[in-house]
Structure 1
């Protein structure tokens, strides 16, 4: 194994980050890691029983130098409609991580606990995405239908001929459409 330079303040923090990345990989998450382990792209599947079920997102995790004392920055690369996730940048409401984060947590906790809970229980009363929050406040069914539309547009796994379901590729789709193009201003009730 090649020596990996880790962007942390101490050798102990570097060992911890190496361990946590390896635990994430061992847990079966499709993960791309840069050379110094400061940026990870991780494949996240929508939790069963939610409006996000069936979707697959690429989530970027940026590791701070103070990890694990400071929470990583989490951002959805693949577009997602959620009241607590900024639509354009994909940034996740940091209150979710800053309040709950502890040095006892690791990267697996983000993908097995924090993000699934965020997708299961969106909070329209503390939104980063005001359009999504307005839809959710107006009608749970309208919210599910709109999430489903966005899921089909951005987060459907692409299976190429000859590929098994296990080797699905998520096409990183970009669009010139913005949320405001798809949802009219009168949704801001």
Structure 2
């Protein structure tokens, strides 16, 4: 097995990053990691009880060499309608990533707490997406309709065909034409 070279300034930071990524994966987050762990993509599901529920987004996490002293940079690769997420780049605007980051935070905090809170409580007073902020200020219902539209257009989960469906498909493709024609059809 090839040795993974972690993109950090210290061995301690490298061990922390490996631990944090492994915890994220062990918790069930589908994660695609590059060779040096400088960047990875995480499948993120919208929190229950919100207009984002049922949607699935890919979030890119860019790790600074100084992690955990400095926070990662998050970017939604899947389009999302939110006042605190830039509409073209997908960059996330959260106070915790600008001013309140602590070395005690880890990737689990980001995906289990920070991002769900952001989607539950959009802040139209500190927007990156000014149009979403203006609509939220004007009409919460209209805002939710836009969220739902974006979710349907961009954030639908992949449909995984079950083994049962595959078996039915196989059986139906094995049928011959004579199996499909009934005796009643011969009377015509």
Q: Distance in 2 between matches of 1:68 and 1:163?
A: 42
Give the C-alpha shift of residue 94 in structure 1.
4.7
Structure 2 residues not aligned, in runs of 5+: 165-188
Q: Is the 8 A contact 2:82 2:122 kept in 1?
A: yes
Structure 1 residues not aligned, in runs of 5+: 165-189
Between the two proteins, the alignment pairs up a number of residues equal to 164
Match of 1:30 in 2: 30
Give the C-alpha shift of residue 99 in structure 1.
2.5
Q: Is the 8 A contact 2:50 2:120 kept in 1?
A: yes
Give the C-alpha shift of residue 97 in structure 1.
1.6
Q: TM-score, normalised by structure 2?
A: 0.84
Q: Distance in 1 between matches of 2:160 and 2:32?
A: 20
Q: Distance in 2 between matches of 1:90 and 1:96?
A: 17
User: Where has structure 1 moved over 2 Å in runs of 4 or more?
Assistant: 160-164
The root-mean-square deviation of aligned C-alpha atoms, in Å, is 1.4
Give the C-alpha shift of residue 84 in structure 1.
0.2
Q: Distance in 2 between matches of 1:106 and 1:163?
A: 37
Q: Rg larger in 1 or in 2?
A: 2
Match of 2:145 in 1: 145
* Cα distance change, pair 43–134 in 1 and its aligned pair in 2 (3 A): same
Residues 118-137 of structure 1: pairs in structure 2 closer than 5 A: 118-137=118-137
Q: TM-score, normalised by structure 1?
A: 0.83
Residues 12-161 of structure 1: pairs in structure 2 closer than 5 A: 12-161=12-161
